[in-house]
Structure formats: C-alpha cells, structure tokens
Structure 1
Amino acid sequence: MTDQIQRFLFDGTNVRGEIVSLEHAYGEVLERHDYPPAVNHLLGELLAAVALLTDTVKLDGTLSIEVRGQGALALLMAESNPGGELRAIARLAEDAPIPGEHAGFRELVGNGQIMITLDPTDGHRYQGIVALEHDSLAGCLAAYFAQSEQLPTRLWLAADGQRAGGLLLQRLPDDSRNQDADAWERTVLLADTLKDAELLDLAPLEVLRRLYHQETVRVFAPKPLRFGCTCSRERIASALMTLGSQELREVLAEQGGIETQCHFCHTRYHFTVADVEAMLNDGEGSPPILH
C-alpha cells in the first residue's frame, strides 16, 4: 500500500507512535486544484498531519486542521475521518504575489493561527486554537499539544508534490509498565535525524528499522488511506439554507436557479426554483434530499 498509516509502540516504555505515507490520496487532492508548488508541498504536510492526529485521538467522527494565515496563503485546510478518507484545500490571499517554489512555511502563512476541530458523530464539537509562532507546521502542531496540556507530542512532516509522509511520537503517562525513563528523549533524538527523503522514499517499516534498530518496536497492521469527500446534495442544501429566504429568492430571481460546487472535489450541484422553494417550505426541518 502506498497510502497507509501504521501504529507502533516501544515495548517496556511509555512511548507510542504513528507513521503515514501518502501518494494517491495526495495526488487526487492536487489534481483537483492548481496551486503553486510551495503550496502543494505544505498541503501534503497538512494531509499527513491530519491523518496522524485522527488516528492518534481515535475520534469517531471528523477531525480537521485549519491554518489561517496573513501571508500569501490565506487558508489551508485538511480533514480526515476514522474510515481513512482525506480531503484538503488551500486558498491564496487576494492580490498576493505567487509564492516562489521554495517558499517556506513562515513566508507562506505569515502570522495567524491553527484551529483543530474534533467533530464527533455523537457528542459535542471541540475546537482548539494556537498561534502560528513556529517556523514549521510540525512545530506549530507540537505547540498546540503543549498549550492544551495534552500528552507531549512531536511530529515530523515532509512532502514533495508527489508523495507526503509523517511521523508522530507521543509520550503516555507513566505507569508500572514503563521500564525506561529515558525512552522519550532517546526516541525523539533519533527521530530528529530523519531526513525528508527517507520519510518520502522509504517504506514505513524501513524508516522505523533505520531509526530504531536498537529498540524493541511493536508494529501493528497498517490501515489504508484514500481521498474521499463528504460533500452531498443534502449538505449543500443545508448550507444554502443559512443564507435565508430573502437572499435565496433574490438569487433565484436574478439567475433562475442556483449553481454551486464543492470546493474540495469540484462536484457541481444545481438547484431549481422548485428545489429551493421546497427547501424553504420545509421550514426549520432538515432540508430534503433533492434530485
């Protein structure tokens, strides 16, 4: 599998990890958009990161990471779910010059913030926010975990426009099973030697073998990942209803219908006058699935 995430842990320690590799899912995101190379690279890192975090928190629902910047890149967003479906999008700032091929994270986003949203199938939505105060996406995400007083977590991310990869290490609370007090510092130090080319070119098991050949690593079965969009006619209808009846009828009077498309996958949706009136007549109930 070229698109997968794999969980592992170090026996006798309180350290666990995840390693992800992406090719086809990443390629499908880029095929649907025309972004500059530097944006493509950062988008790949974000895809790897959202896959890692979704598997780490074991959320039964959707997890999204949204980067809002004040540089050339106004928005970067990726979303994942437990089914292994990934999608992502970017938006350049209006009138911003096209960033150079080798533009870095700070040049692309400038100041801003990262929002991580957990939207469980059952339960309350949670959102955490952290300022963009580091020179890499991985650094900002590590700061998010530190700020939110969660488990110490480090990430290593890489992408080259064709493949994306990521490694995550996390330190669990101490218990009687932890027989190695230096395990966290040692495993992080070794991961810091990881080169982007290794993370992108080597199979996940080979990456772990090279980094931790002197450690006892327990590796679990990989989980496949793929591109998947959660848009639907019903969800688009719900979004249109938020505009209100007056604005919707003004659009209908001007255009004779409503044509829209999903920003993630570019699927087009058309709503006739009759469709919209049926939605409005439904009142505060759930918009019907229209055909």
Structure 2
Amino acid sequence: MDELHKFLFEGLPVRGMLVRLTDGWRESLARRETVGPFPPPVRALLGEMAAAATLMQANIKFNGSLILQVFGDGPVKLAVAEARSDLSFRATAKVIGEVPDGAQLEAMLNVHGKGRCAITLDPQDRLPGQQPYQGVVPLHGDRREPLQQLSQVLEHYMLQSEQLDTRLVLAANDEVAAGLLIQRLPIQGENNLSGINVANEDQIGQSEGFNRIAHLAATLTAAELLTLDANTILRRLFWEEQVLRFEPLAPSFACSCSRTRVRAMLGGLGREEADSILAERGNIEIGCEFCGQQYHFDAVDVGELFTPGRDQPPASASLQ
C-alpha cells in the first residue's frame, strides 16, 4: 500500500515527510514491461525521482503538476517524474546507450559535467498566457564529494529555491520507492518552489534543532528505508523527540495519457507525415512512454482526423 506520512517536531522549527511507494511503483514498472524494461540503475533512479516528486508535491500543496527532470550527456538523456496535486505519480526515461549495472548518477547523466536538474510547476487551471514556473540547477550538490546521489542535487536545489535547509534520503528497488524529507521551517514568511521567497540566508545552517534532526535522518540506510515500515523508521530515528504525526495520505500510480491527447499529437504531425507512416506501416501505433499503453490509428482514423471542417488539434499538442 502506498503511503505518505507528514509530521512535525514539537518545539522545533522542523517538519518531515516519509513516503513509501509500493503497489503503485510496482504497477508503474509492470506497465513499462510492455515496451521494454529499463536497466536496473535507471529503474532505481526513476523510483527515487517518483518518491522525491511526491514528497515535494505534498510539501508545497500545489494545485497542478510538479515535474522533476534530470537530463545530461550520459546514456540517460532524460529522466522525468511527475506528481500531481492528488499525489498520483508517473515516471519515465529516455535511454540511448548502455547503462552498466551499478552505474551512479554521474555515469548515467553527468559524464562531462553538463547535467541539469529542473523542477517545473504547471498549474492545473493555467490562465491564458501564463507560463509554468521552472527552476534549473547544475547536476551537483553542496557536499564536498563526487556526485553519486539524486538527494544531493535536490537538497542543493531546495536550498537555492526555498532558502531552507533540507535533508533528503532516497532509495528504490523493483519493489519499493521510498524517501524521507526533513526541512527547517521558515522563521517568518512563506517559501516555496513557486518563487515566493523571503530572504532567510542568515538562518541557513544555524538551526541547532534542524541540524540534530538532520543528523539522525542521515543515519537511515537505504536497506532500512526499503524494508522497514513507517512506524518503525520514525520510532528508531526519533525515539527521543516529540513527534506530532498527521493522518497518512495515499499516493498512487496514474497516467494522464488518453486517446484524445494522442490524437491531438498525431494531428500536430500533419497530414503528409501521417500518410507517410500509413504507407510504410499500414497503420500508426503510438505508445505512452509512461504507462506503456498502445494507441492504434488506421487509415479511416487518420482520414477522419484531417477531414476539412473537423476540429483539428494545435501543432503544439503533446502526449505529455
């Protein structure tokens, strides 16, 4: 069962969240099997990204999609995870080249130091002319060590965007995608990824309460995060703290693709391109990269799509 737990530390300006994606994460991988599985390191990366995106979405309570992307110059050209306001999530990647077992983030995405991490907030009811908010940072962290973990990158990102100290622990395998987030609460004002910033630079790194809680969180191993339930993890880590917990939330795997959206994308290709594909293959098959769903269009479907007088989709329409 997928679950997300929010909690506060009484008397301290520190909040936390713990997410465990199980049923939904396994469904996500099973759906992907229809178009070919990702290499194990890529599956682990996508699991960590799905957990992280879910944590960040729950942290900011944003009405829309939070899209976490990492892209670079290694065999993994792009990895993306999306979490929506109802905490439904999905993830996929574009892989070109071999990804050896045990490959770390540096080898997959940042071979020549050109990797980037982007977080986009796309409002559900976007106003005309309104653009999604996006922040981009280099694919590196603040710690003085080689880049190996996605958590380093996201801690660095949140320190820059929210100006709040954050400690993040992520882990994933083929059964579980999980994450623990600890964050210092702002002293005053509101800070979030949408760009509302109140300068708190003088407070960064100065909270003894946060530093103590973050140190405890950092002792959590990947094996513990993947195998222990939420109650056990919180009890073992913070048994000396007064932890105020809230009712758990229920994330889930869900894909927003549909035949209507795929049809719109096909219309954006234009009649000439669609007819060319039909002539070569006899029909048009388009598969969703997130869930593996296959959509089929024959000559009749294409003819109806481009019949004069029918509503045609804009060229910018996209499956995603």
Q: Does 1:129 align with 2:136?
A: yes
RMSD: 2.3
Summarize deviations over 1:186-218 as a string: whole Å, max 9, x none. 111111111112211111122111111111111
After superposition, where does 1:1-291 map in structure 2 within 5 Å?
A: 2-31=1-30, 32-33=32-33, 34-93=37-96, 96-100=97-101, 102-110=102-110, 111=113, 112-123=115-126, 124=130, 125-134=132-141, 135=147, 136-175=149-188, 181-280=207-306, 281=308, 282-283=310-311
**Structure 2: unaligned runs, 5 residues or longer:** 142-146, 190-205, 316-320
Task: Give 5+ residue unaligned stretches, structure 1.
Answer: none
Cα displacement (A) at 1:286:
7.3
1:64-88 deviations in Å (ceiling 9; x for gaps): 1111121222221111112232211
Q: Relative to 1, partners in 2 of residues 1:278 and 1:35: Cα closer, same or farther, differing over 3 Å? A: same
2: CA distance, partners of 1:285 / 1:251: 19
- Compute the TM-score of the two structures, normalised by the length of structure 1: 0.88
Find the aligned partners of 1:275 and 1:97 in 2 and give their Cα distance: 37
Q: Which runs of 4+ in 1 moved over 6 A?
A: none
Task: For residue 265 of structure 1, give the secondary structure of its aligned residue in structure 2.
Answer: coil
Task: Give the CA deviation at 1:9.
Answer: 0.9
Scaled by the length of structure 2, the TM-score of the pair is 0.80
**Equivalent pair of 1:63/1:117 in contact (CA under 8 Å):** yes
Measured in 1, the distance between the counterparts of 2:120 and 2:298 equals: 34
CA distance in 2, matches of 1:14, 1:170: 9
Q: How far apart are 1:30 and its partner, in Å?
A: 2.0
Kindly tell me the number of residue pairs found equivalent between the two proteins. Answer: 280
Q: Matched residues in 2 for 1:274 and 1:151: separation?
A: 56
User: Do the aligned partners of 1:14 and 1:173 also contact (CA within 8 Å) in 2?
Assistant: yes
Q: CA deviation at 1:50?
A: 1.1
